[in-house]
Structure 1
Amino acid sequence: GDFRREKYIFPIDEEEKNRLDIFHKFFLVARDNNLFSAPLDVKQALRVLDLGTGTGIWAIELSEYVLSLDERFRRRGLDFNMIQPEMIPPTMNPPQSFDIEGSWDTIDRDWDFIRAQMLFGSIQCWREMYQKMFMHLKPGIGYMEQVEIDWVPRCDDGTLPTDSALGEWASKLLKSLDRHGRSMRVDPEETRRQLALAGFTDIDETVIKVCYCPWSEDRHERQVGRWFNIGLSQGLTALSCFPMRRMLGMSQKDVKDLCLKAKRDMCDLRYHAYCRVYIWTARKPDLEPSTKEPVSARGYDAEKVPVLSREPSSTWI
């Protein structure tokens, strides 16, 4: 419907479905084949809610893995767009078309795990989203996890020109989403602060270096860079066209020309550019009577939240 296009301004065609699956592979490689980082006990009966499930590939793979351990596992995916396959594992409830920015009154409040991935640029108010996640997790044992890409290109050795097309592309993409009212910018300290304000504890942040192409001498970073380059180079124009044309007034030709130049930059092995993937996990604490008062920023110190500059350790093999 029109209201969906107003909120979600990226394509949802067959090519986009393929790109989403490529990015799923990219995240798996970047995370050493871990589907999640939260300390979940997969040997217990788990209920998992996947927000913005997309093609459903993450949920399907998780369901197939956990099915081998416990048939009581249940998982549900929510998304605007019903683009998931018809055949799903028996542990999955059928995905639902759902506006996650709307009311959650019909959503159960006993989830063990709520996941969000690549939703920056699609959500208007993350404060409200974190509050909804908090309210619908099990006290004491419920975890949320969020995975996002900081698209801003970085370069430590000066090989990427300061006026690169790649930098211009990222700047204009982020500016267009700012004007859309659904920012794609990553502000790690603000995210940690909002999670704490929502009531979460045990907030962890993992940062993964992602090369724009396989220029690194490190074997793992090269593999990550290959998959990231495939996914982004195929989806660059689709990711950029509608936001830049509508929010910045650029012509379709100008957008395509910029994307072509940016693609050349990101595929040039001489340019040692990289961006970052951020993974946040947080737990809903036990709700004792004394803690049911409105959440405030009392006692919160963003500098004391653990930050890990490495790939997350495995919670399952």
Structure 2
Amino acid sequence: MQHEICNVTFHGKLGFAPPCDEDAKVGRVLDLGTGTGLWAIDYGDYHPETEVLGVDLSPIQPQDVPPNVRFEVDDVEEDWLYSRPFNYIHLRFMNGSLVNWKKLITKAYNNLVPGGYFEIQDNDFVFTSDDSTLPPEQPLAEFGQLIREAVERFGSAFVPCPELKNLMVDVGFEDVILEKFKWPSNPWPKDDHHKRIGQWNFHNFADAAEALALAPLTRAHGWTKEEVQVFLVGVRKDMRNPKIHSYMPIYNIVGRKPMKEDTPAPPQDTAQGQDIVPAANAAAAPGLSAH
């Protein structure tokens, strides 16, 4: 369902990098963490001249795919052994599942042709509001905090997406642009576009909440399954409450590898640290109005 919500959020666009333009002619595309493969399949349908490769740890992709699309089981945090570079590398919703973002961004940089694009579509797993209707002590806000803490205890981290922009610049990408979007928790917004996103997002979250929460809260925080279920009652109550104008920020980050490199990116095995510095202001999403 997340793929459909992204389609609504981005007004039918698969991404904002030039290779996603309708008339773009692209040679090779890599989709990292492809999941069910829907993004890769759609891209292959829209760009039949392109060779599309989707990689993921789980072989859950369909067998019936366009002839220019293929999938491989691979760990993107291991060394990349591709024989030829790509024109466009895409990544969606991997924040919290990676140990070292800078190392991955460096590998993307090193596996692009000069002038190639890298695009990240992701979130920080933060629930917030612009009008203080979701204070930090509310179960929904607390849920986001608990999940982020659990991920860190498991050895990964939710890196704030504006800081991912800084990492891309540090590695060598140029013209890096970050845009912020909003996924309302339910159909509380007044405008039809965000109301529709809220409808999709509520059902997506309601269906996935227990599966999403169970391992982090029991293994990292020591809760019982019953305690998780009781806590989720309050989370879902917040999620459906139209008086709580909550949303999850979603970010799109695009950068281009220079046509001519002045300073090559560091080798993959030396890009160890996150090297995160305070981010410049992100492009703000438009404000949401309630009923």
Alignment size in residue pairs: 276
Quote the offset at 1:156 in angstroms. Answer: 2.5
**What does residue 289 of structure 2 align with?**
none
Q: 2:64 aligns with which of 75, 81, 87?
A: 87
Quote the offset at 1:43 in angstroms. Answer: 3.4
Quote the offset at 1:228 in angstroms. Answer: 1.1
**What does residue 102 of structure 2 align with?**
127
**What does residue 209 of structure 2 align with?**
236
Output the TM-score relative to the length of structure 1: 0.82
For residue 158 of structure 1, give the secondary structure of its aligned residue in structure 2: coil
Closer/same/farther in 2, CA of residues 205 and 153 from structure 1, 3 Å limit: same
C-alpha contact (below 8 Å) 2:172/2:264 kept by paired residues: no
**What does residue 264 of structure 2 align with?**
292
Structure 2: which amino acid aligns with 1:59?
Answer: A
Output the TM-score relative to the length of structure 2: 0.89
Once residues 173 and 240 of structure 1 are traced to their aligned partners in structure 2, the CA distance between those partners, rounded to angstroms, is 7
**What does residue 46 of structure 2 align with?**
65
Q: 2:122 aligns with which of 145, 148, 172?
A: 148
Provide structure 1 residue ranges, at least 5 long, that are not aligned to the other structure: 1-21, 312-317
Closer/same/farther in 2, CA of residues 286 and 162 from structure 1, 3 Å limit: closer
C-alpha contact (below 8 Å) 1:112/1:143 kept by paired residues: yes
Provide structure 2 residue ranges, at least 5 long, that are not aligned to the other structure: 272-276, 287-291
After superposition, the CA RMSD in angstroms is: 2.1
**What does residue 31 of structure 1 align with?**
10
Superposed CA deviations along residues 64-93 of structure 1, whole A, max 9, x for unmatched, are 1112xxxx311000000000001010111x
Once residues 104 and 265 of structure 2 are traced to their aligned partners in structure 1, the CA distance between those partners, rounded to angstroms, is 19
Once residues 186 and 284 of structure 2 are traced to their aligned partners in structure 1, the CA distance between those partners, rounded to angstroms, is 20
Quote the offset at 1:264 in angstroms. Answer: 1.3
Quote the offset at 1:293 in angstroms. Answer: 7.5
Superposed CA deviations along residues 274-302 of structure 1, whole A, max 9, x for unmatched, are 121011000110234x4337599xxx995
Once residues 238 and 278 of structure 2 are traced to their aligned partners in structure 1, the CA distance between those partners, rounded to angstroms, is 39
**What does residue 102 of structure 1 align with?**
78
Closer/same/farther in 2, CA of residues 112 and 265 from structure 1, 3 Å limit: same
C-alpha contact (below 8 Å) 1:174/1:185 kept by paired residues: no
Once residues 37 and 293 of structure 1 are traced to their aligned partners in structure 2, the CA distance between those partners, rounded to angstroms, is 24
Closer/same/farther in 2, CA of residues 49 and 134 from structure 1, 3 Å limit: same
Once residues 145 and 265 of structure 2 are traced to their aligned partners in structure 1, the CA distance between those partners, rounded to angstroms, is 41
**What does residue 160 of structure 2 align with?**
186
Closer/same/farther in 2, CA of residues 264 and 240 from structure 1, 3 Å limit: same
Closer/same/farther in 2, CA of residues 293 and 242 from structure 1, 3 Å limit: closer
Closer/same/farther in 2, CA of residues 167 and 301 from structure 1, 3 Å limit: closer
**What does residue 15 of structure 1 align with?**
none
Q: Which moved more, 1:276-285 or 1:225-234?
A: 225-234
User: Is residue 276 of structure 1 aligned with residue 257 of structure 2?
Assistant: no
